[in-house]
Amino acid sequence: MIVMKFGGTSVENSDAIRRLIEIVGTEIPRKPIVFVSACAGVTNQLLKIAGLSAEGKKDEANDLISSVRAKHEKLVEELVSSELPRNYLKGKISVYAHELKNLSQAISVLGEVTNRSRDAIASYGERLSSMIIAQALEDSAVKSALVDAREFMITNDNYTKAAPVFPVVEEKAKKTLLPAVLNGYVVVTQGFIGSSEKGITTTIGRGGSDYSAAIIGSLLNAEEIQIWTDVDGVLTADPSIVPEARRIKKMSFNEASELAYFGARVLHPMTILPAIEKNIPVYVRNSRNPAYHGTLITKGEDAEECVAKSIAYKERITLLNLVSSRMFLAHDFLEAVFAVFNKYKTIAHAVATSEVSVSVAIDDTTSLEEMKKEFSEFAEVSDSSGKAIVCVVGDNIRHSPGIVGKIFSALDEIRINMISQGASEINLGFVVDEADLERAVRLLHTELFSNPRSHGLSEEIFD
């Protein structure tokens, strides 16, 4: 059995869905479970409907509901030719549109939108795309079964970022997905959405369909997890900043995790963890270019010559600088500092320390003022926003002292606010002003990847 996940752009219109059908068609002997996202842009539209409703902008919300409805009706027209299922789907779309209108109405009466109602509304994107795709497969003579992910993706009730309850998910997934797979059906289901133990709809976080697919791949011991997207694989940098970014042919679980964590949107940050658990290879592939092999992500024990594999970045970072104002011992100072981070559940993305001072990069500033108040009892504290973390990732960074010099000499015209080598030793991160971010990433990319041979590195890793 394999798990295949198709992201928003891979199901964005009928041409994309036809490509999906062709790709899935080639994998039928391997018994695929297919996870789909909402069509590109639909989740954003649905969340906008929730926002407009809360602001009392009912007409605008209704217009948007009509356009979501029309988009899916068009897909049905273009993809489903048999009359009965076509009418059935149109009926379903109409029911969903009514439900959305009711939700929108309820939100506008209350004048506020809760995370629980956000999830209820956002779930329609995947529910609409998946039912159309399952029928389109049937229409192409592929036996398919639609399973509602809320039957197996059981989560806590932390709406908009719900955490799956793994033992329950495992039990339910075995019951709801495996029988159909074993009977030769291509199972189609939704990424991103789930249900609380009380049966209320939840979502597991934006971009979470990758994570849904990886969780099920791991719990059901899939042979392989395929993430189909709109680029040729994991690239050496974000192609929107570096158009000449190159495809990485293979990388390790650790490298992919680190990259995703530091902002490479191509994979949801949690995707790789379930795959590591069962050592399941993950392929990232381009649904517009299926002939390409994409990027293979595995345990990757074989030592490679390649030092740096990719550059990621995180924007909207705030840098906190703390200097001990008491006669703390160094470890007491750090303990006091991190107790505050812990108390306010704020993640430190990069840290640099000396005996009496520490710099910490954060992106969640919800509790910044309260934290600063607490810090001021034992430290002088200052903060500056408008920063970005740039992160070079590669398994062998730790074995190559020369790389650090190369990185920073390439950036000598950029102001570096802080440097931090992650404890995993496979990333080297530094903080720059947001205004310098794009230039820094481009300079670094040219240095590291335009001619990796000049560093004695293997070209074979890249396209």
Q: How far is the CB of 363 from ligand ADP (least distance, A)?
A: 17
Q: Are 211 and 163 in contact (CB under 8 A)?
A: no
> Which single residue is written with the structure tokens 């906190």?
320
Closest CA to 312 of 258, 368, 369: 258
Q: Which of 9, 10, 37, 202 binds ligand ASP (CB under 6 A)?
A: 37
Per DSSP, the residues of 260-277 read HHTT-TTS-TTTHHHHHH
Nearer to ligand ADP, 176 or 287 (CB): 287
Q: Which of 9, 12, 21, 43 binds ligand ASP (CB under 6 A)?
A: 43
Q: Which does 206 bind (CB under 5 to 8 A by kind): ligand ASP, Mg ion, ligand ADP, none?
A: ligand ASP
Q: Which of 20, 24, 38, 350 binds ligand ASP (CB under 6 A)?
A: 38
By CB under 6 A, residue 8 contacts ligand ADP: yes
Nearer to Mg ion, 191 or 422 (CB): 191
Q: How far apart are CA 350 and CA 155, in angstroms?
A: 30
Cross-strand pairs, 282: 225, 297
Q: How far is the CB of 45 from ligand ADP (least distance, A)?
A: 15
Closest CA to 281 of 252, 247, 308: 252
Residues 6+ apart with CB under 8 A from 84: none
Nearer to Mg ion, 12 or 170 (CB): 12
Q: How far apart are CA 50 and CA 53, in angstroms?
A: 5
Q: How far apart are CA 120 and CA 103, in angstroms?
A: 8
Q: Which of 208, 217, 274, 429 binds ligand ASP (CB under 6 A)?
A: 208
Q: Which does 53 bind (CB under 5 to 8 A by kind): Mg ion, ligand ASP, ligand ADP, none?
A: none
By CB under 6 A, residue 85 contacts ligand ASP: no
Size of the site for ligand ADP (CB under 6 A): 19
Q: Which of 86, 92, 265, 455 binds ligand ADP (CB under 6 A)?
A: 265
Q: How many other C-beta atoms can be found within 10 angstroms of the C-beta atom of residue 163? A: 14
Closest CA to 385 of 439, 436, 314, 316: 316
By CB under 6 A, residue 274 contacts ligand ASP: no
Q: Given the rule CB under 6 A, which of 19-27, 226-234, 352-360, 415-423 is the region that contacts ligand ADP?
A: 226-234
Per DSSP, the residues of 5-28 read EE-GGGGSSHHHHHHHHHHHHHTG
Q: Which of 85, 125, 194, 207 binds Mg ion (CB under 5 A)?
A: 207
Q: How far apart are CA 413 and CA 390, in angstroms?
A: 15
Q: Which of 53, 209, 252, 310 binds ligand ASP (CB under 6 A)?
A: 209
Q: How far is the CB of 7 from Mg ion (least distance, A)?
A: 5
Per DSSP, the residues of 203-225 read E--TTTHHHHHHHHHHHTT-SEE
By CB under 6 A, residue 207 contacts ligand ASP: yes
Q: How far is the CB of 247 from Mg ion (least distance, A)?
A: 17
Return residues touching ligand ASP (CB under 6 A): 7-8, 37-38, 43, 125, 191-192, 206-209
Please report, as ranges, the residues that interact with ligand ADP according to CB under 6 A.
Answer: 7-10, 37, 207, 229-231, 234-235, 237-240, 264-266, 310
